[in-house]
Structure 1
């Protein structure tokens, strides 16, 4: 669609990015240092200046000519304590002719679609990007502020107080200001009516608190994906289809079915605007539109065609190089809380733009808005504003010599996943093919012992864009024995750091690779916590390690050794198989070890199947919930039919014909709370009356920490009639006290036309297989009293002699560990080489080292104020530390210096 403004043509279209063309190498190979950057300069490095506020640049690396990634550590004082936060900054040279910024919008460049920042960057060919404007997570996925791409308005600014936007003029000049939309529709007879905006969803305006679309007229272009223009607007629309500047269709008080055509637009009118349409427009009529943006600070009008791009945001953060007053309430965005945050700003000379993200993850605690302001000022931001933060905060970049953008840091969404957002800000390169500038070793920077990883050479050209280096033949070597070359990759041999080098002719390039040892681990555990104890049992035992630096990694099977108690077993390819069970054993244990570091034990015990719910006497509510909000249905316990006519069943009826995107129909147990399942459940079965809908059938559990666990029951649901479905839960990651929250159907957007949108399924006889005894059942109970300095103790009132008296040293009582385990159950092992004591009691494994206050409990590293000691050749452990870890109550009587242990 074309609209006319001051004789200039402005096209409603969304830019499609172009993929980069990679260069094939030819000729000689030559290498330059990464930071020998010729005439390119990015301004001075910056550090903060206040004593309690300091920003230190940790690293910098080119993304492309004119853009590089800077990593900072920001130190601040929070609640009286010094806190270090990681922040990432993409610095863009606005004077560089080969780099530019642009808005990335949803999927396919259309609003009302959401996509991850990485997905948008890959789709449009961006080499870096961050999430953009604020949007309602319960709305249609439309940015609240204005968005302009290459002179075209994608969305107009909303009428909201204090909302700022970042824009670039065609000459590269940056600006941050508040803008409003102004426009009108003009008939061929000269009559006009105001336009209120472009591609906006319904909202409440400020400060008058009115419905945005009441008595207003809006333009919707083909950039608007949804057929609802907009949804939940509280108004009945009159719509007008215009193509080629001519009215093609008028629908009074009803929407025009379908999406907006690519060669036209739809006017959406209500109230007085609809009256204008009814009185003055007709099919075949010539219609003209014009619009502009207006600065709310200066009153200056701005033709969108004069802009390269614009993206909306929230409050102003920095002005004239200093933290500014907030221009809008920050309560709704948790301004005083330390969370992940995104911002954008520019330098005083207007030559550089800065895309900023504060990390909130295991390595960084996030920032408050005031901390973000101070950080931005510290690194040289002259004027800057706040973009969407929290779980939306995402940054991606294309590492030097790589072809794809990757996450710059782990997001704050718990599992590190990316939130689908309304829009983002992308960095693009238009540089031509350059000559080879340098090579880079590509591969893992850390390895586990026994792990082998592939490494390759990748190249970048004079514009820091990737070039094809596959034809380069190289010889690989390492500078020490921490890693070894296998002929196809490097294998981790022992903990430490190696420098691996690739040599090709006279050229060579290196990188450091760290082999992680047990001392680098903070915890080691499997998602499988329980398994049935029976000969022939096979169960997957994937292991995850949390490193001291906060990273979580999968541990390959070849990096682990295993210890078994109560059974003979073997682990091959990550699968544990029970070969035989020791005579009389009701419980057995499998413990993985990595370089001496022990995992949380996997408990195997005798198990049986038990009915959890047969719906005959449910004493809790069961309810229906649908997503999106248009999804309809019911979930209730009813009398069965056919072969189940004598029993009750849970029936889930669903109607997913309305709404867009992925659709869900939930049968929820006990409202939102869920209902507890047996601890240690290793399997679940449920009778299902299928409807052959080809939808997915799933179960959702909740662990005590609130994290959801999803289990597929049928993928797809391709049967009718009753069928018993059984699923393995041993590797699902369910924790003790987990709950089953709901059973539900999923109707995916992709291929939606192939699955039924309406139907009915029923459930009966939900069963769980769980241990008959858990890991601590069967441990003896006792009351033991011992006295410091006396070589005797009483057990349940009976006196016994001991060969080593309890020792009191620095207010800590020490005893040989066997005096605890003899009476409360368990066993211990002593490693004379490492001076380590390993204690196993029930499902608890504890490892302590002489002289070290750090210990491990159930695969997690802990810190104590005391440590084991050696006295007269005997190893003594801190009594209270060990006893309480094993669940034994400890009481100290100061006068008599007696200790009472009871379980």
Structure 2
């Protein structure tokens, strides 16, 4: 870190000019080292558990793992009662030994250690080399990304605390003593003529003060350092600034009633003033004169002035949660942070003797329901927290920890954002190792803990030193073996052979390390779904057929190609390297199916049918709105349907003009179709063709679709856009994972930050004649697929039916239960065409008819139609060892009309 000190009386001021912490790599020679067995922790996730009682709730210690010397991850299950029901919450705690000389805490700030940038906790940890970390202070989500509280890093005050009531901060002093207190800010500027003016803060964005409800920057003077990246100091303050550039303690520039262009230089700072403060500058400062600044933090509980350099670190938070080992009163309203709701939480505290810091998270995900603030207080006191405060929570709650022998920290648990990933936050609290290079202490097998039948997974042997930091093991030669035949060593990895658990072991001399792996079987699956839903039925046609499996624990995994077996109906086909090739079509077949299977579990079939290219939009008579949007906000442009030029002068086109010169980072220019709603594309579309007038900008050209599952799917049209003139682009949609029914929402230009100087920031592209290739039947109708027409009459309670007037016997009768009629689906598909497959293990019925694929599960109201999840009023049932399905649900989804005669209890089905 480069800093500049200015001695002013008894106060020392340090302005942060630049801060970069590099990653620490530990490499040692293994020659002559004595191998030592890996450390075995008695409560290592799944070992013996201890229970800590707290009033009506209890915290059960599930296990622990060392992160580095002086820090360990401890996992808990917190059990409490809500509305008379017992609930279990998962909590994760990083315990830090503040007396250990090889570990320390520090603040992680945004990207590159700068304010007004945001970054996910995992990204900050990787950038700074932290071995563990959580999200930190609260920040205005609509603001510039600046923490509300004080932030100190290595004695440097990065941000001063905002003037808000009841906001606490956590810090570690130079003597490693932890402190939690409320802080204010006090500072003064001293001009060369001896006059002074108070400073209001350092590196703060605009806000409303409390309790005065005043505008923060009116009539005030602030300092901005190079830790502040944005050129807006601050944004949206509602005031006109006067700014002063100070370098080397000397005024270099004064800009009256306007900001000094550009960022704050690394070797100086900027005084930002308004109103009375600006008048002071006009009267007392001049270019070439010296100026001095002093500032300090002020304890709001004791009134004591505190030099920031007396702290190793400090991070702001919200309300006090624990004091003197007991739940404290909230020091600030918790309404805005959903205090009474069960959400993900983050907190920090310390022990009574001051030797241990606790970094705490409560999980909110599919495995854990989150905590209220009162529950968080109870949990914190139960694990030994003497004093603690609340950090930012909810969607911000994120913890990363470095597994033993690994080089980087990774997510400790799934955040409440789920598939949306980690939230970018203003800052974080990081744990760092400062241990020297050590000697080898132990080995650890590293690799996936689960694999699929037929899948080969590589495992590596990693080591850690006597400080529990990673150590190079590239020179270690090991022999690998398995405890049973569930997995087999291939020479480069272990291959799943059959479902079950195995222990794999690496042995090198007298040292060895083991881990348990599970080969997943069909009984572990809750779904097996190809990414592709529809495909064209043409000899020679090829289509990508990646498959995903949903496990019963809710996790989704990609299934390796070699782990999937395929069953074909209506055609001869093959699948090689994840690509299905249609070899020939059975005589008379207009529809064919490709069904993935895994260990006896049947997945959702791919429907192949005759296809045709449909003109989706020519822009000649478009009646919906088209508009431009850009990211970042400075991106400008227009999108409109206009008369074409040149060879397209007689037709209309969609023209997208973009100017991406403003803003920073990745930039986007969007042509939005039909507002934010988008426009529906043909059901089951397998490819898209579009005419594009290129501009050789070397930007990317993309399309954004919205699937039936609510997820956006992004498809590259041109990457890069390296042509001029009109060109027809054809894009395969089968591997996109797009769930139908779907919509096309946007066509857009992408200008990436990486290599931005090589691509044009301004340009114009046009689009015309958008076509989709889709099943000729529209994706879910039974028309023109060779299915028979029929009239079937059944009667509830009778084991016979008539098909086109001919009587047939059934081995089970239709059933009326709770007002719903249930029928054996086998007899419906026999009469109207199609197939019905029963998976006993999963309790699932898969019905295929025409181009419709319907999946029903016994006891579940949710069903899947052509890859889209829907919900019915009732679910399939089992009666007398026979599976019956709701009549109306099946018939309506398969294109069969139903008539119910109440008096005779007869059911008439027609197609």
Q: The residue matched to 2:553 in structure 1 has which SS?
A: coil
For the structure 1 residues 714 and 324, does the alpha-carbon distance in structure 2 shift closer, same or farther, using more than 3 Å as the test?
Answer: farther
Distance 1:837 1:615 in 2: 44
Other-structure match for 1:475:
479
Other-structure match for 2:5:
2
Q: The residue matched to 1:415 in structure 2 has which SS?
A: helix
Other-structure match for 2:291:
287
Q: Alpha-carbon deviations, 1:696-739, whole Å to 9, x = none?
A: 22222222343222222222223333222322211222222322
Post-superposition shift, 1:671?
1.9
Distance 2:227 2:829 in 1: 71
Post-superposition shift, 1:601?
1.6
Other-structure match for 2:310:
306
Other-structure match for 1:771:
775
Q: Indicate which of 509, 514, 520 corresponds to 1:516.
A: 520
Distance 1:529 1:731 in 2: 9
For the structure 1 residues 856 and 216, does the alpha-carbon distance in structure 2 shift closer, same or farther, using more than 3 Å as the test?
Answer: closer
Q: Indicate which of 189, 195, 216 corresponds to 2:199.
A: 195
Distance 1:297 1:424 in 2: 25
1:592 counterpart = 2:600 = no
1:632 counterpart = 2:636 = yes
Q: The residue matched to 1:305 in structure 2 has which SS?
A: helix
1:844 counterpart = 2:853 = yes
Question: Gaps spanning 5+ residues in structure 1: where?
Answer: 38-43, 871-875
Post-superposition shift, 1:289?
0.3
Post-superposition shift, 1:518?
0.9
Tell me which moved more, 231-240 or 72-81: 72-81
Distance 1:50 1:329 in 2: 25
CA contact (8 A) 1:358 1:367 kept: yes
1:264 counterpart = 2:242 = no
For the structure 1 residues 733 and 223, does the alpha-carbon distance in structure 2 shift closer, same or farther, using more than 3 Å as the test?
Answer: same
Pairwise CA RMSD: 3.1
Other-structure match for 1:178:
182
For the structure 1 residues 520 and 273, does the alpha-carbon distance in structure 2 shift closer, same or farther, using more than 3 Å as the test?
Answer: same
Q: The residue matched to 2:20 in structure 1 has which SS?
A: coil
Distance 1:192 1:405 in 2: 47
Q: Alpha-carbon deviations, 1:765-786, whole Å to 9, x = none?
A: 2222222122442355655433
1:216 counterpart = 2:224 = no
Post-superposition shift, 1:429?
0.7
Q: Indicate which of 832, 849, 857 corresponds to 1:824.
A: 832
Other-structure match for 1:877:
883
Q: Alpha-carbon deviations, 1:267-290, whole Å to 9, x = none?
A: 111222111111111111111000
Post-superposition shift, 1:558?
0.9
Q: The residue matched to 1:120 in structure 2 has which SS?
A: helix
Other-structure match for 1:359:
363
Distance 1:840 1:869 in 2: 25
CA contact (8 A) 1:522 1:861 kept: no
Q: The residue matched to 2:378 in structure 1 has which SS?
A: helix
Other-structure match for 1:24:
29
CA contact (8 A) 1:220 1:266 kept: yes
For the structure 1 residues 832 and 363, does the alpha-carbon distance in structure 2 shift closer, same or farther, using more than 3 Å as the test?
Answer: closer
Q: Alpha-carbon deviations, 1:671-690, whole Å to 9, x = none?
A: 22222222211222222222
Other-structure match for 1:800:
807
Q: Alpha-carbon deviations, 1:241-270, whole Å to 9, x = none?
A: 111111111121222222222111111112
Distance 2:71 2:853 in 1: 52
CA contact (8 A) 1:363 1:550 kept: no
Distance 2:717 2:278 in 1: 51
Post-superposition shift, 1:144?
2.2
Q: The residue matched to 1:87 in structure 2 has which SS?
A: strand
Other-structure match for 2:537:
533
Other-structure match for 1:786:
794
For the structure 1 residues 331 and 833, does the alpha-carbon distance in structure 2 shift closer, same or farther, using more than 3 Å as the test?
Answer: closer
Other-structure match for 1:559:
563
Q: The residue matched to 1:47 in structure 2 has which SS?
A: strand
CA contact (8 A) 1:853 1:867 kept: no
Q: Indicate which of 878, 882, 892 corresponds to 1:867.
A: 878
Distance 2:639 2:839 in 1: 59
CA contact (8 A) 1:345 1:354 kept: yes
1:231 counterpart = 2:250 = no
CA contact (8 A) 2:5 2:12 kept: no
CA contact (8 A) 1:883 1:889 kept: no
Distance 2:179 2:368 in 1: 31
For the structure 1 residues 376 and 706, does the alpha-carbon distance in structure 2 shift closer, same or farther, using more than 3 Å as the test?
Answer: farther
CA contact (8 A) 1:134 1:313 kept: yes
CA contact (8 A) 1:106 1:114 kept: yes
Tell me which moved more, 817-826 or 324-333: 324-333
Tell me which moved more, 18-27 or 677-686: 18-27
Other-structure match for 1:571:
575
CA contact (8 A) 2:107 2:315 kept: yes
Post-superposition shift, 1:588?
1.7
Post-superposition shift, 1:98?
0.9
Q: The residue matched to 1:820 in structure 2 has which SS?
A: helix
1:411 counterpart = 2:415 = yes
> What aligned pairs does 1:493-508 form with structure 2 within 5 A after superposition?
493-508=497-512
Distance 1:831 1:366 in 2: 36
> What aligned pairs does 1:718-733 form with structure 2 within 5 A after superposition?
718-733=722-737
Post-superposition shift, 1:809?
11
Q: The residue matched to 1:178 in structure 2 has which SS?
A: strand
Q: Alpha-carbon deviations, 1:132-157, whole Å to 9, x = none?
A: 12223333222222211011011111
Other-structure match for 1:49:
54
Tell me which moved more, 882-891 or 64-73: 882-891
For the structure 1 residues 417 and 141, does the alpha-carbon distance in structure 2 shift closer, same or farther, using more than 3 Å as the test?
Answer: same
Q: TM-score, normalised by structure 1?
A: 0.91
Q: Alpha-carbon deviations, 1:11-60, whole Å to 9, x = none?
A: 424543241423332322121532389xxxxxx96634344x33322221
> What aligned pairs does 1:421-432 form with structure 2 within 5 A after superposition?
421-432=425-436
For the structure 1 residues 649 and 457, does the alpha-carbon distance in structure 2 shift closer, same or farther, using more than 3 Å as the test?
Answer: same
Post-superposition shift, 1:810?
9.3
Post-superposition shift, 1:162?
2.8
Other-structure match for 1:109:
113
CA contact (8 A) 2:689 2:728 kept: yes
For the structure 1 residues 801 and 641, does the alpha-carbon distance in structure 2 shift closer, same or farther, using more than 3 Å as the test?
Answer: closer
Q: The residue matched to 1:12 in structure 2 has which SS?
A: strand
Q: The residue matched to 1:822 in structure 2 has which SS?
A: helix
Tell me which moved more, 398-407 or 887-896: 887-896
> What aligned pairs does 1:375-774 form with structure 2 within 5 A after superposition?
375-415=379-419, 417-773=421-777, 774=779
> What aligned pairs does 1:237-252 form with structure 2 within 5 A after superposition?
237-252=241-256
Moved over 6 A (4+): 807-815, 830-838, 852-865, 888-895
Distance 2:125 2:335 in 1: 31
Distance 1:3 1:374 in 2: 46
Distance 2:335 2:412 in 1: 28
Question: Gaps spanning 5+ residues in structure 2: where?
Answer: 44-48
Other-structure match for 1:40:
none
Tell me which moved more, 103-112 or 323-332: 323-332
Q: The residue matched to 2:376 in structure 1 has which SS?
A: helix
Q: Alpha-carbon deviations, 1:492-513, whole Å to 9, x = none?
A: 1111111112222222221111
CA contact (8 A) 1:4 1:289 kept: no
Tell me which moved more, 331-340 or 472-481: 331-340
Tell me which moved more, 436-445 or 704-713: 704-713
Other-structure match for 1:206:
210
CA contact (8 A) 2:156 2:309 kept: yes
CA contact (8 A) 1:846 1:855 kept: no
Q: The residue matched to 2:352 in structure 1 has which SS?
A: coil
What count of residue pairs does the alignment treat as equivalent?
Answer: 888
